[in-house]
Structure 1
């Protein structure tokens, strides 16, 4: 079967690789034929050549064919999960993180059906939306709060929308890229076109947010900026993926400001995918605002290059497979 494989930093080639079949499945798994995928910010360090924490923890897990991609829409062609039948169209997690290939194996518990009126390259946005909705559910006191979202990439943009829908009194985005137009269309009252260090340095006490979402990840300093920005008694959700196992935390600030620091991965994935489907049905305009670029899967190289150097109008980048 075909797969895209990173052969060196920032360079994909199409390769022929071993084709999985039904005999490779264990209980609870399904075999998918790829219909569409999407590029996640957590894929980009791998694309750029970083040895990730997961790869450090699991020696030998380098860049197998199909890596990195985990946001996926596929057709079930074999199953050992009674909730999924052959022929089902599903969206969710490519749980082996190697879904940039003709076929991929995933956990059935990380997949769900979707509205067939959505094209695969649009339906794939349900996976990141499920992640954001789960995170927002974990944050207490969103309704009526001033909220700030550090980072206005695809996930940060979804946080704008989800926090607004959860009743936040105001939502401010922060990004080094000029996201004022796109951020506002996704629910922000304003977007500061600033590095987070400069933004927090000019905050007045009256403007400090009660809820801060760190949606940047991949560096240490932004967590401290979130702690510094937050109002006393504020809640910080660290959503961005760390590239380092250990982060220094200003415990004096955390203690003296009575802050709550939260983080975590998405649990109950099928439940959250169903919630994401209902959310999207209630906000249908979100699809066109969020999915801004789609490439054929054999143009994965171009898609990833755009993701690493987005324009102000670049939100979610998806990849489609010709039917």
Structure 2
């Protein structure tokens, strides 16, 4: 089989390697033939080498974790050969024609004509896990910092949860235009307008009831979330950090009695099926998000496009074998 390997910063190559087996593996593993995957911003540092002292060459298949495919071998009582699944590979090593994961890291795909959209059940599942921790949002003012795919899906979900205002913040206009399609009520380009002044004006000086940080990779947006939050409000840290330790505005956090929540990963067995239901039933429209589609052989170009934001990408799909769709 072919497997991608990042051999140096920003350099991906393909190697031939045996198809993995389940022999000798503990637990209830499954072997998945990859049909398609979608790049996530958490994959990018493994390609660039810019964070966490990433060492090269990277392991085979690193880095892809939003994946759909067909089970070709299973020791899980939940799945049989031939089942189509949304599956999360071990340690994001899904950029390969076949990958192994645990049965409890997968969910059956429902019938749906736009099967590629079901891949977004994985990131939506992580959002649902975070949403379980939020307070009642009915008639609340909510700010979403960052309008990448995660922030955009947050916009839609928060609107569905009854927020009075969903205020989307970003530096990139095409993302803010998409935010309107994803049910944001207000958009703010933070390079042109001071978000603190805008939020103060919209909330009569009170601040936002809930602020979602969906950028990651630096501390500034976490501290911005604390700034924008009202007294006794809630701030959610969702963006993946770049370092183990960040300087945090703890005095302001305490003076305002803000509840700070962190969230990562989905509750797979509950959140992925729910996310898939929400997509297939039209309760969250993720169709604006997959903007580009490239073949497996062009995975290097996919990373280059995503990291450079060339041609206004939101989500880039890597097509490995969707001919049967």
Asked whether the two chains share a fold, i.e. TM above 0.5, the reply is: yes
TM-score (norm 1): 0.92
Contact kept? 2:125, 2:267, Cα under 8 Å: no
| Equivalent residue, structure 1, for 2:42 | 42
**1:210 counterpart SS class:** strand
Task: Tell whether the 8 Å contact from 1:121 to 1:319 is kept in structure 2 after alignment.
Answer: no
- Pairwise CA distance, 1:285: 7.1
Name the CA distance, whole Å, in 2 between partners of 1:20 and 1:197.
Answer: 52
Aligned match of 1:182 in 178, 184, 194?
A: 178
The whole-number CA distance in structure 2 between the counterparts of 1:62 and 1:309 is: 22
**Displacement of 1:117:** 2.3
Determine the structure 1 residue equivalent to 2:164: 169
Per mean C-alpha deviation after superposition, the further-off stretch among 219-228 and 90-99 is 90-99
Which stretch shifts more, 299-308 or 227-236?
299-308
**Partner residue of 1:127 out of 122, 127, 131:** 122
- 1:87 corresponds, among 78, 82, 86, to 82
Match of 1:259 in 2: 258
Is residue 98 from structure 1 mapped to residue 97 from structure 2 by the alignment? no
Alignment partner of 1:71 out of 66, 71, 74: 66
Q: 1:287 Cα deviation (Å)?
A: 3.4
Measure, in 2, the Cα distance between the counterparts of 1:85 and 1:287: 29
Alpha-carbon shift at residue 103 of structure 1 (Å): 0.8
Q: Supply the distance in 2 between the matched residues of 1:224 and 1:147 (Cα, whole angstroms).
A: 16
Other structure's SS at 1:5 match: strand
Aligned to 2:242: 243
Change (3 A) 1:71 1:196: farther
Match of 1:136 in 2: 131
Structure 1 counterpart of 2:141? 146
Q: Could you tell me which residue of structure 2 aligns to residue 211 of structure 1?
A: 210
Report the equivalent of 1:29: 29
Q: Who is 1:286 aligned against?
A: 285
CA 61–273 in structure 1, closer or farther in 2 if over 3 Å, else same: farther
Question: Is residue 127–residue 266 contact of structure 2 (8 Å, CA) maintained in 1?
Answer: no
Structure 1 runs (4+) greater than 4 angstroms displaced: none
Aligned equivalent of 1:192: 188
Counterpart CA distance in 2 for 1:314 and 1:300 is: 15
Equivalent-residue separation in structure 2 for 1:115 and 1:163 (angstroms): 24
Q: Tell me, in whole angstroms, the C-alpha distance in 2 between the residues paired with 1:62 and 1:197.
A: 42
Please list every run of 5 or more consecutive structure 2 residues that lacks an aligned counterpart in the other structure: none
CA distance in 1, matches of 2:126, 2:292: 21
Contact 2:216 2:238 in 1 (8 A): yes
* 8 Å Cα contact 1:25/1:105 also seen in 2: no
Report what 1:109 is aligned to. Answer: 104
1:33 to 1:173, Cα distance in 2 relative to 1, 3 A: same
Distance 1:119 1:22, change over 3 A: farther
- Alignment TM-score, normalising by the size of structure 2: 0.91
Q: Secondary structure at the match of 1:308?
A: helix
In structure 2, what is the Cα distance between the partners aligned to 1:273 and 1:118? 18
Which one is further off, 36-45 or 204-213? 204-213
1:16-45 deviation digits (Å, cap 9, x = unpaired): 123211315322211111011110110111
Q: 2:172–2:189: 8 Å Cα contact kept in structure 1? A: yes
> Could you tell me how far apart the structure 2 residues matched to 1:152 and 1:39 are?
16
